Amino acid sequence: MSETTEADTGSGAAPAETPPAVSASAESAPAKVKRLEAEGDIAADYLEELLDIADVDGDLDMDVEGDRAAVSIVGASDLDVLVGASGEVLECLQELTRLAVYRETGQRSRLMLDIAGYRQDLRKSLVELAREAGEEVKESGEAIKLSPMTAFERKVVHDAVAEMGLTSESDGIEPTRCVVVLPAR
């Protein structure tokens, strides 16, 4: 087991128990869920402190979705400040939360953070955009290049396009990287 001291965490709280490093393919399903739940707990503790410092109310929901820990902040009307314009603040908070998990576990986290249902609503809009683009590509036989998107947004679009039986690829470099929906071959 990995040990973490109070000096390592920078907080007065007792460090979270960290599982030993195991390759993702060798990890059993129950061990993986336990590891992801521990990531969620660490993230929730970090976010709770952040909410207290920012004097923002909100409830934390934790879950495991696929191969990621998922944490959502819900319940308060003033959460928009934590989302920011086009989700920029949310993206930053997610990265800071992942760093907090890394600091405690020594392992990179793929944790997903949602605030006030922003990502959930965005996912619905992106799936609709992908569906419309896919239909247009099927009708015209021509590839369609979508607007620049974040990595999260591109992943949602790629998955939705694949469900339609089409292919897609990312093109460009950040911050103008975008999805190109391709006709069936």
Q: Could you report the per-residue pLDDT of 117-166, keeping only the tens digit for each?
A: 999 999 999 999 999 999 999 999 999 999 999 988 999 999 999 999 99
Q: Please check whether residues 80 and 133 belong to one and the same domain.
A: no
CATH of the domain at 68: 3.30.300.20
**pLDDT at residue 15, as a whole number:** 47
User: Do 150 and 124 share a structural domain?
Assistant: yes
34 and 97, same domain (yes or no): yes
Which amino acid would we find at residue 150? T
Instruction: Give the tens place of pLDDT for each residue, 9-31.
Output: 444 444 444 445 545 557 888 89
Residue 144: domain span: 120-182
Would you say residue 1 lies in a domain? Answer: no
Predicted model pTM: 0.76
